Amino acid sequence: MDARWCRWALGALGVLFIHAGLSVAQPLVTRLGSPQPAAPGPAVPRTWTLHDLIDLGLRQNPALAQAGFDIQAAQGKARQAGLYPNPTLSFSADELGDRTGPGGILTPAVSQEIVLGGKLKLSRAVAQREVDQATLALATGAGREDPERHRRFGLHAAKPESVKRLARWRECAVPDLQSQSGECAHRAG
Protein backbone atom coordinates (compact mmCIF):
# COMPACT_ATOMS: atom_id res chain seq x y z
CA MET A 1 0.00 0.00 0.00
CA ASP A 2 2.82 2.42 0.87
CA ALA A 3 4.71 1.72 -2.36
CA ARG A 4 1.61 2.42 -4.45
CA TRP A 5 0.96 5.62 -2.52
CA CYS A 6 4.56 6.77 -3.10
CA ARG A 7 4.30 6.04 -6.83
CA TRP A 8 1.00 7.93 -6.98
CA ALA A 9 2.46 10.91 -5.07
CA LEU A 10 5.54 11.02 -7.33
CA GLY A 11 3.31 10.83 -10.39
CA ALA A 12 1.13 13.66 -9.09
CA LEU A 13 4.21 15.80 -8.39
CA GLY A 14 5.47 15.09 -11.90
CA VAL A 15 2.15 16.20 -13.36
CA LEU A 16 2.28 19.38 -11.26
CA PHE A 17 5.81 20.13 -12.45
CA ILE A 18 4.85 19.58 -16.07
CA HIS A 19 1.66 21.66 -15.70
CA ALA A 20 3.61 24.51 -14.07
CA GLY A 21 6.18 24.42 -16.88
CA LEU A 22 9.00 23.37 -14.57
CA SER A 23 11.57 20.75 -15.26
CA VAL A 24 13.53 18.70 -12.78
CA ALA A 25 16.64 19.36 -14.86
CA GLN A 26 16.36 23.15 -14.30
CA PRO A 27 18.40 24.54 -11.43
CA LEU A 28 16.37 25.53 -8.38
CA VAL A 29 17.51 29.17 -8.55
CA THR A 30 16.12 29.53 -12.08
CA ARG A 31 12.81 28.01 -11.06
CA LEU A 32 12.43 30.34 -8.09
CA GLY A 33 12.49 33.48 -10.18
CA SER A 34 15.98 34.70 -10.89
CA PRO A 35 15.86 37.30 -13.65
CA GLN A 36 15.76 35.81 -17.11
CA PRO A 37 17.18 37.73 -20.06
CA ALA A 38 14.36 39.50 -21.88
CA ALA A 39 13.61 38.37 -25.40
CA PRO A 40 14.36 41.06 -27.95
CA GLY A 41 11.13 42.63 -29.13
CA PRO A 42 10.10 45.40 -31.46
CA ALA A 43 11.67 48.73 -30.68
CA VAL A 44 9.33 51.23 -29.04
CA PRO A 45 9.65 54.77 -30.38
CA ARG A 46 11.11 57.16 -27.82
CA THR A 47 8.88 60.06 -28.78
CA TRP A 48 5.26 59.70 -29.78
CA THR A 49 3.97 61.83 -32.60
CA LEU A 50 0.33 62.53 -33.23
CA HIS A 51 0.44 60.16 -36.18
CA ASP A 52 1.87 57.36 -34.03
CA LEU A 53 -0.88 57.87 -31.48
CA ILE A 54 -3.57 57.93 -34.17
CA ASP A 55 -2.27 54.65 -35.62
CA LEU A 56 -2.12 53.12 -32.15
CA GLY A 57 -5.64 54.30 -31.37
CA LEU A 58 -6.99 52.93 -34.63
CA ARG A 59 -5.34 49.56 -34.10
CA GLN A 60 -6.51 49.19 -30.49
CA ASN A 61 -9.90 50.90 -30.58
CA PRO A 62 -12.55 48.38 -29.51
CA ALA A 63 -15.36 50.28 -31.26
CA LEU A 64 -13.54 50.13 -34.58
CA ALA A 65 -12.65 46.48 -34.03
CA GLN A 66 -16.32 45.74 -33.34
CA ALA A 67 -17.30 47.59 -36.51
CA GLY A 68 -14.83 45.43 -38.45
CA PHE A 69 -16.34 42.29 -36.92
CA ASP A 70 -19.82 43.56 -37.82
CA ILE A 71 -18.70 43.94 -41.43
CA GLN A 72 -17.31 40.41 -41.48
CA ALA A 73 -20.55 39.05 -39.99
CA ALA A 74 -22.61 40.94 -42.58
CA GLN A 75 -20.39 39.56 -45.34
CA GLY A 76 -20.94 36.03 -44.01
CA LYS A 77 -24.71 36.58 -43.95
CA ALA A 78 -24.55 37.96 -47.50
CA ARG A 79 -22.70 34.86 -48.66
CA GLN A 80 -25.18 32.60 -46.89
CA ALA A 81 -28.14 34.51 -48.36
CA GLY A 82 -26.88 33.69 -51.85
CA LEU A 83 -26.90 29.93 -51.27
CA TYR A 84 -29.78 27.52 -51.68
CA PRO A 85 -31.24 26.05 -48.48
CA ASN A 86 -29.80 22.77 -47.30
CA PRO A 87 -31.76 19.58 -47.97
CA THR A 88 -33.58 18.02 -45.02
CA LEU A 89 -33.19 14.35 -44.16
CA SER A 90 -35.55 12.76 -41.66
CA PHE A 91 -36.18 9.25 -40.42
CA SER A 92 -39.23 7.97 -38.58
CA ALA A 93 -39.61 4.66 -36.76
CA ASP A 94 -43.19 3.89 -35.67
CA GLU A 95 -44.87 0.93 -34.03
CA LEU A 96 -41.65 -0.79 -32.99
CA GLY A 97 -42.28 -4.25 -31.58
CA ASP A 98 -45.88 -4.33 -32.87
CA ARG A 99 -47.63 -7.36 -34.38
CA THR A 100 -46.66 -6.13 -37.89
CA GLY A 101 -43.13 -7.16 -37.08
CA PRO A 102 -40.28 -6.47 -34.68
CA GLY A 103 -38.88 -3.77 -36.98
CA GLY A 104 -42.04 -1.69 -37.07
CA ILE A 105 -42.68 0.89 -39.78
CA LEU A 106 -39.51 2.71 -40.86
CA THR A 107 -39.92 5.83 -43.00
CA PRO A 108 -36.96 7.75 -44.42
CA ALA A 109 -37.67 11.12 -46.08
CA VAL A 110 -35.57 13.66 -48.00
CA SER A 111 -36.85 17.12 -48.88
CA GLN A 112 -35.34 20.12 -50.65
CA GLU A 113 -36.82 23.61 -50.66
CA ILE A 114 -36.77 25.14 -54.14
CA VAL A 115 -36.59 28.93 -54.11
CA LEU A 116 -38.60 30.53 -56.94
CA GLY A 117 -39.68 34.00 -57.98
CA GLY A 118 -36.35 35.80 -57.53
CA LYS A 119 -36.44 35.45 -53.74
CA LEU A 120 -32.81 34.33 -53.65
CA LYS A 121 -31.73 37.40 -55.63
CA LEU A 122 -33.75 39.68 -53.34
CA SER A 123 -32.31 38.15 -50.19
CA ARG A 124 -28.81 38.60 -51.64
CA ALA A 125 -29.54 42.28 -52.32
CA VAL A 126 -30.87 42.82 -48.79
CA ALA A 127 -27.83 41.14 -47.26
CA GLN A 128 -25.51 43.23 -49.45
CA ARG A 129 -27.21 46.40 -48.19
CA GLU A 130 -26.48 45.22 -44.64
CA VAL A 131 -22.80 44.94 -45.61
CA ASP A 132 -23.00 48.49 -46.97
CA GLN A 133 -24.59 49.73 -43.74
CA ALA A 134 -21.93 48.06 -41.59
CA THR A 135 -19.21 49.57 -43.78
CA LEU A 136 -20.79 52.99 -43.53
CA ALA A 137 -20.97 52.59 -39.74
CA LEU A 138 -17.23 51.89 -39.71
CA ALA A 139 -16.49 54.88 -41.92
CA THR A 140 -18.61 57.29 -39.89
CA GLY A 141 -17.43 55.88 -36.55
CA ALA A 142 -13.77 56.28 -37.47
CA GLY A 143 -14.42 59.76 -38.81
CA ARG A 144 -16.23 60.81 -35.62
CA GLU A 145 -13.40 59.81 -33.31
CA ASP A 146 -10.51 61.28 -35.32
CA PRO A 147 -11.48 64.99 -34.83
CA GLU A 148 -11.80 64.37 -31.10
CA ARG A 149 -8.17 63.26 -30.98
CA HIS A 150 -7.10 66.34 -32.89
CA ARG A 151 -9.03 68.58 -30.50
CA ARG A 152 -7.30 67.00 -27.53
CA PHE A 153 -3.93 67.82 -29.06
CA GLY A 154 -4.97 71.40 -29.68
CA LEU A 155 -5.07 71.11 -33.46
CA HIS A 156 -7.86 72.97 -35.22
CA ALA A 157 -7.68 71.28 -38.60
CA ALA A 158 -6.97 67.70 -39.57
CA LYS A 159 -3.56 67.28 -41.11
CA PRO A 160 -3.57 65.66 -44.56
CA GLU A 161 -1.16 62.91 -43.43
CA SER A 162 -3.48 61.70 -40.68
CA VAL A 163 -6.47 61.78 -43.01
CA LYS A 164 -4.51 59.65 -45.49
CA ARG A 165 -3.56 57.20 -42.73
CA LEU A 166 -7.19 56.94 -41.65
CA ALA A 167 -8.31 56.30 -45.23
CA ARG A 168 -5.58 53.66 -45.62
CA TRP A 169 -6.71 51.96 -42.40
CA ARG A 170 -10.31 51.88 -43.61
CA GLU A 171 -9.19 50.14 -46.80
CA CYS A 172 -7.14 47.60 -44.84
CA ALA A 173 -9.83 46.95 -42.21
CA VAL A 174 -11.88 44.76 -44.54
CA PRO A 175 -9.78 43.46 -47.44
CA ASP A 176 -12.66 41.46 -48.98
CA LEU A 177 -14.86 44.53 -49.24
CA GLN A 178 -13.50 45.78 -52.55
CA SER A 179 -13.80 42.40 -54.23
CA GLN A 180 -17.41 41.91 -53.10
CA SER A 181 -18.78 45.43 -53.46
CA GLY A 182 -16.68 47.94 -55.37
CA GLU A 183 -19.33 50.65 -55.29
CA CYS A 184 -19.56 50.52 -51.48
CA ALA A 185 -15.83 51.09 -51.09
CA HIS A 186 -16.15 54.32 -53.08
CA ARG A 187 -19.08 55.59 -51.02
CA ALA A 188 -17.54 54.69 -47.66
CA GLY A 189 -14.08 56.13 -48.44
**Mean predicted confidence (pLDDT) in 6-34:** 50
Q: Is 17 a domain residue?
A: no
The residue ranking higher by pLDDT, 87 or 9, is: 87
Contact between 184 and 137 under an 8 Å Cβ cutoff? The reply is: no
Q: How confident is the model at residue 24 (pLDDT cuts 50, 70, 90)?
A: very low
Q: Is 65 a domain residue?
A: yes
Q: Is 132 a domain residue?
A: yes
Query: By residue range, what is the domain housing residue 150?
Result: 50-85+116-188
**Mean predicted confidence (pLDDT) in 110-126:** 89
Q: Is 11 a domain residue?
A: no
CA 147 – CA 129 distance, rounded (Å)? 28
Counted domains in the chain: 1
> Could you give the count of Cα atoms lying within 13 Å of 33 in the half-sphere of its Cβ?
0
**Residue 20 predicted with pLDDT over 70:** no
* 33-67 per-position pLDDT tens digit: 445 555 566 666 568 777 787 788 778 888 888 88
Q: Is 45 a domain residue?
A: no
Q: Is 8 a domain residue?
A: no
What percentage of the chain reaches a pLDDT higher than 70? 49
Q: Is 144 a domain residue?
A: yes
Q: How confident is the model at residue 22 (pLDDT cuts 50, 70, 90)?
A: very low
**Mean predicted confidence (pLDDT) in 101-121:** 85
Residue 76 confidence (pLDDT): 92
**Mean predicted confidence (pLDDT) in 97-121:** 83
Residue 50 confidence (pLDDT): 79
